Amino acid sequence: MSLWGGRFSEPSDQDLRALNDSIGFDIRFYREDIEGSIVYALALADAEVIRSEEARAIVAGLREVLQEFETGDFELQEADEDVHTAVERRLIELIGDVGGKLHTGRSRNDQVATDFRLWSMRAADRLASELRDLQAAIVETSESQVETLMPGYTHLQPAQPITVAHWLMSFFWMLERDQDRLGSARQRMSICPLGSGALAGNPFCLDRQQIAADLGFDAPSQNSLDAVSDRDFVSDLLYAIALCASHLSRLAEDILLYSNPSFGFITLYDRYSTGSSLMPQKRNADPMELMRGKAGRLVGNLAGFLTTLKGLPSGYNKDLQEDKESLFDSCDTMHQLLPVMTAIVASLQVNPEEMIASLTEELLATDLADYLVRKGVPFRQAHHIVGEVVRLASEGRTELSALPLPSLQAISPVFGADVAEVFDFAQSVAKRRTYGGTAPDEVRKQIALAKTRLTS
């Protein structure tokens, strides 16, 4: 039997049913729906709306329905419009008309909002755990590469020498911000709408504080009209996922570049590479390209849902049925991406010789300017002087260190014989020892701090 329809003289058109019914995707809420219904039945009994024995029968029936779902024995019927209809229909089949008392004072509006919040809280927890696995892989790989030198880039142009660990750890902190966003989003999810009814509240004086506590929420919602239509928590989670996906996409792009033979800095494990159907020699980092591509999809889910929300009037509107598939898709996609990225980082083969071969002395131009600064030259002048030095070396097609001292002194008399000490990549990195810098000792501190975050 439908949860509604007495007011109508004809059944719904089949085309309308195909558009309107959500059972095809909200069936994923079966556990949350049953958990919420069990707590609601007990709340009805506590408020003496139903008898204790009726509540016990409802709870026992709901647990039997849950068991059927868990074992795969639950059978959907044509009349099941959504997960709420399906659960209540089966409950009544099992325990009789007393099952029809469960929905007293409750609306699918507060019911689905409760189900979805419970589901989203668990989804946020799972994503946070999978992110932690990736962060742990980054830390573990970084520990073995603290002193491995590589070029650092800005504008995709060689800039200054850094270490491999410093490069990798930059992504740890991006993901740590994603953890913060997931955590704050989850905190805002933890508000219980159950007991709000369709929009105006519940007339049976239920203890909403207890309902919220029993379901694991921090508190009940403050306004029933807002509670049934609030989908900020969906937007929050979609945003956290979209931004995390953009970070994964950036890491994927670096891996794509650095694993290209033109760079050769890293090699992907065979299990995470693909080949070509035509060219036998090809070794493609296809998983990384999928990371980039799916990031666009996840950003699209966020943009699409925000557009759905922007013009809705107060209260629940059927437009909100569009909230689920976008979030389901985003979470499912992340559950695919994160384990693969974790495995790739954990198995990454670093090629130090290729990285060192890519370190050209132009990357030490800033160090040369710093040398002049230490001798009292204002940085802006030092910058200009070193620019002339770089041009001279470029025109002569020689390394900076190969320029004769008289040639340097012709540009600036401040240059002395000790300028030769500048041309040392390891020393350049070691000097960047301010907090958060690329100096090995500082990177070790980063890693130590990261480990405390992983265990907190």
Q: Would you please indicate which residues are annotated as catalytic (active-site) residues?
A: 155, 276
| Rounded CA separation 44/301 (Å) | 38
Which string of b and e fits 84-111 if b means at least 16 CB within 10 Å?
bbbbbbbbbebbeebbebbbbbbbbbbb
Checking DSSP bridges between strand 191-192 and strand 219-220, what pairing results, if any?
Answer: parallel
Contact assessment for residue 442 and residue 433, using Cβ atoms and an 8 Å cutoff: yes
236 Cβ partners below 8 Å, 6+ apart?
Answer: 181, 184, 185, 188, 189
Candidates 177, 170, 163, 161; CA nearest to 138 is: 170
| CA–CA separation, 63 and 326 (whole Å) | 29
Write phi, then psi, for 428 (nearest 5 degrees): -60, -45
Closest C-alpha to 407, from 391, 421, 430: 391
Please give the C-alpha separations between residue 2 and each of 80, 145, 379, in angstroms, as whole numbers.
7, 63, 78
Using CA atoms, how far apart are residues 198 and 326, in angstroms rounded to an integer?
Answer: 24
CA gap 245, 338 in Å, rounded: 9
Furthest C-alpha separation in the chain: 101
Can you tell me which residue has the tokens 């408020």? 47
Structure tokens at 428: 């350049």
Backbone angles phi, psi at 17, to 5 degrees: -60, -40
| Burial letters 363-400, b for 16+ CB under 10 A, else e | bbbebbbbbbeeeebeeeebbebbeebbebbeeeeeeb
Beta strands in 268-410 (DSSP E): 349-350
Query: Cα separation of 86 and 146, whole Å?
Result: 57
Angle at 99 between CA 98 and CA 100, to 5 degrees: 85
Distance CA 64, CA 66 (A): 5
DSSP per position, 112-162? HHHHHHHHHHHHHHHHHHHHHHHHHHHHHHHHTTTT-EEEEEETTEEEEEE
